[in-house]
Structure 1
Amino acid sequence: MVAISLNSLKSGKDYPGNWTQFLQWFPDDNACLQFLEHLRWPSGFVCPRCLKLSKPYHLTRGRMMCPICRYQGTVTAGTLFEKSRTPLTNWFAAAWYITNEKHGVSALGLQRLLGLGSYQTAWTMLHRYRRAMVNPSRGKLSGFVEVDETYVGGSDKAKTRAPCAQSKKSIVAIAVEIKKPKGFGRIRLKRIEAATQVQLHSFIQETIEPGSVVQTDGSSAYHRIHEFGYERNKLVQLGSKEPAHETLVGVHRVASLLKRWILGTHQGSVGHEHLDSYLDEYAFRFNRRASNSRGLLFYRLLEQAVVTPPVSYENIKKR
């Protein structure tokens, strides 16, 4: 077995490269705790109470004590793993599978894979990790960006820009960076209640850097975005000889792949109230599709997990 030395680990560089190495790095919960300690305090332990840098005393049951103010706590307190009764080895294995499976894993698949006691445990683990997939400090899209909406879920055939209350469909706003001469950059996805000017303008301002060129269809919902510092490239579809999937190729490609992913990996069973979490996961995967190191994706997910506040099953279910 390979013993982890916190002093020798380098942030963003040291992580297992394959499953065999994963098992060597994390044979038990203690090894997982050491790794989380390194991720949470890469420059040394900083007491959550007195905020002083020090070398903590390591007590029993994974507790740590600040030598200055005598504060006692755990590495997992205030993180995604707080108060979880699931062993950290299972949490780490789940993170490894989530980042190493190209199309992700379903809750049922994770339950079977790890031998978890209940579907609820697997479902909660996945949703907690999905919350860690959004970096609050991530940069906005820039350059040439396509924006459009699509419908996700349901079996009704509503085609209006604002489905009625009985509609089972959800509207998802999509923004895609377009690279020249070809190719796609990053994406952003968000569920909106209706494709109105207010909501689409808000989505554009949240996700796109001012000064960018925003390419849209001819909808009046995108009027006046120039007032917020964007240049609009409007493509009127009505009467055009070119179909929408050829003029707005980026958003249509992403919409198609998103729906295929939901139907394939999750059998289409994504509730309206939890759709945002699945959109976060899909964007996380798409934006890292070119990564040559699955181990680095595992590292980044855990790195975000230790700065993501804890959330209970009840709160996730209410979302």
Structure 2
Amino acid sequence: MSGGIPLPPERFAPSIANEMVHCSSGAIAGREQKEYKGRRHSKRRTAAMQHFLLSSAAVSLSIDDVASMSDAAVRRLVRQMRWPDTNGKPICPRCDHDRIYEMASGRLKCAACRRLFSETSGTILHNRKLPLRTILMAIFLWTNGAKGVAALHMRRDLSISYKSAFVLLHKLREAIGDARDDLKVGGVVEIDAAYVGGHIRPPNIGREGRRPAVRSRKQCVLTMVERGGSTINLIVDGETTEAVMAAVGRHVQPGSTIVADEHAAYNALHARYTVHRINHRWEYARGDVNTNAAESTHSRLRRSENGIHHRICGPYLGNYAHEMAYRGDRRRCPNGDVFRELGEMALMHPVSRVWTGRWQARPDGKQGDRKVDIRPLIWTPLEPFEPWRWAA
């Protein structure tokens, strides 16, 4: 490796990085005297401010650092992510014994229970088929995506199947959602809701018979953002009083100040919290009373849907919502810290019960009655392309 992979300042903690950093060059303020063509000119240099994402501090890890790692370095890094409390010393996942032997094949064996296991045994990557290096590169590609990464994009970058990329990305999203399931926000909390997902075809205006109104397939995403802290995205049945009170009671600390719009669903919050309201019909902000942070989270989720994934299926919307909340909280952190933290979350998560085995089966355990012939087409440039000709 050309450089070390830094540890995050606090595991699974909200982002505390500053949005603006001082530029190292040209930061000397004062008056300088300069000779130029026989004339003296005075020039004042002011301290230049640079956006964090444009500074060198935002990039602490590159794809070359991961791709050029040796096999021993890859295993050592994965073990540090799996067992961070012991600095990578393996612990048996069955009996918690620390006397572990490493076999010639690379697998680990417990001296107490004699069980064989690996670095990913008992984690969300249990029964993996991909090499550890490929998984680390997938995590890095996910980290560097500004608004997400598509499974097709990752398939082309890593030369893996679409299903492998799709399942791996959803396993990472599941690990993020479960790690932030009990997250609480406090202080000044902005709350707002948006309807995301689905597609409504525009009405057929101009013809004699107009299409009937299509029922919306969008789902309600309730967002709670602590100013200077964490973001929580939840999928609720709708922007109703019951859904708002249940979400706020679980995730907002008592004594917090809530900022919301004039929707009637937030009226009941006045009985338990200090609530400030903003009427978006007349204004978007009144001093510090605004919901701009929550609306920015909604915009980030919509940009991810429209520009990266294009369509988000309803059952998976919660995973994408958790992902964008996490990305919003880590947008001012170095990519090496996010890479290390995401790897720890994946390797400390138990075996997934959703993305394991027949994960696309019906609830009754059957694969369905529809049979699809997925045999490849036989076609060479020397003969005409005939779609009805299948492999024998």
- Place the TM-score, normalised by the shorter chain, in its bin: 0.7 to 0.9
Q: 1:307 aligns with which of 348, 352, 355?
A: 348
Once the two structures are TM-superposed, the CA of residue 139 in structure 1 deviates from its matched residue by: 4.1
1:47 alignment partner, SS class? coil
Query: 1:183-239 deviations in whole A, cap 9, x for unaligned?
Result: xx4321111112222211122123222211111223332233355x532223355xx
Q: Does 1:146 align with 2:190?
A: yes
Superposed, 1:52-71 pairs within 5 Å as: 52-54=97-99, 56-71=100-115
Letter in 2 for 1:76: T
Query: 1:114-166 deviations in whole A, cap 9, x for unaligned?
Result: 111x21111111101111223247642211111111111234499xxxxx993
| Cα contact 1:99–1:297 (8 A) shared by 2 | yes
Change in 2 beyond 3 A, CA 1:154/1:10: closer
Residue 285 of structure 1 corresponds to 327
Gaps of 5+ in 2: 10-58, 203-212, 364-392
Q: Does 1:171 align with 2:212?
A: no
1:315 alignment partner, SS class? coil
Q: Matched residues in 1 for 2:243 and 2:182: separation?
A: 21
2:176 alignment partner, SS class? coil
Q: Does 1:264 align with 2:307?
A: yes
Q: Does 1:192 align with 2:233?
A: no
Once the two structures are TM-superposed, the CA of residue 11 in structure 1 deviates from its matched residue by: 5.2
Superposed, 1:26-45 pairs within 5 Å as: 27-28=70-71, 30-42=72-84, 43=86, 44-45=89-90
Change in 2 beyond 3 A, CA 1:103/1:217: closer
Letter in 1 for 2:260: T
Q: Matched residues in 2 for 1:33 and 1:165: separation?
A: 53
Q: 2:338 aligns with which of 294, 297, 301?
A: 297
Query: 1:259-283 deviations in whole A, cap 9, x for unaligned?
Result: 122101112x111110011111111
Residue 182 of structure 1 corresponds to none
Residue 153 of structure 2 corresponds to 109
User: Please, which moves more after superposition, 200-209 or 118-127?
Assistant: 200-209
| Cα contact 1:130–1:278 (8 A) shared by 2 | yes
Residue 119 of structure 1 corresponds to 162
Change in 2 beyond 3 A, CA 1:205/1:41: same
| Cα contact 2:233–2:322 (8 A) shared by 1 | yes
Q: Matched residues in 2 for 1:250 and 1:316: separation?
A: 36
Q: Does 1:203 align with 2:252?
A: no
Q: Matched residues in 1 for 2:360 and 2:132: separation?
A: 20
Residue 161 of structure 1 corresponds to none
Change in 2 beyond 3 A, CA 1:197/1:256: same
User: Please, which moves more after superposition, 107-116 or 66-75?
Assistant: 66-75
Change in 2 beyond 3 A, CA 1:193/1:313: farther
Letter in 2 for 1:48: P
Letter in 1 for 2:219: S
Residue 81 of structure 1 corresponds to 125
Q: Matched residues in 2 for 1:41 and 1:139: separation?
A: 23
Aligned-pair identity (%)? 28
1:145 alignment partner, SS class? strand
What root-mean-square deviation, in Å, do the aligned CA atoms of Structure 1 and Structure 2 show? 3.2
Change in 2 beyond 3 A, CA 1:66/1:301: same
Gaps of 5+ in 1: 159-163, 180-184
| Cα contact 1:175–1:188 (8 A) shared by 2 | yes
| Cα contact 2:278–2:285 (8 A) shared by 1 | no
Q: Matched residues in 2 for 1:92 and 1:299: separation?
A: 10
Letter in 2 for 1:170: Q
| Cα contact 2:6–2:337 (8 A) shared by 1 | no
| Cα contact 2:198–2:314 (8 A) shared by 1 | no
- Greater helix percent: which structure? 1
Letter in 2 for 1:289: R
Q: 2:282 aligns with which of 218, 236, 241?
A: 241
Once the two structures are TM-superposed, the CA of residue 79 in structure 1 deviates from its matched residue by: 0.9
- What is the aligned residue count? 295
Change in 2 beyond 3 A, CA 1:11/1:150: closer
Q: Does 1:230 align with 2:279?
A: no
TM-score by length of 1: 0.81
Q: Matched residues in 2 for 1:156 and 1:106: separation?
A: 22
Letter in 2 for 1:304: M
Letter in 2 for 1:140: K
Q: Matched residues in 1 for 2:284 and 2:191: separation?
A: 16
Residue 49 of structure 1 corresponds to 94
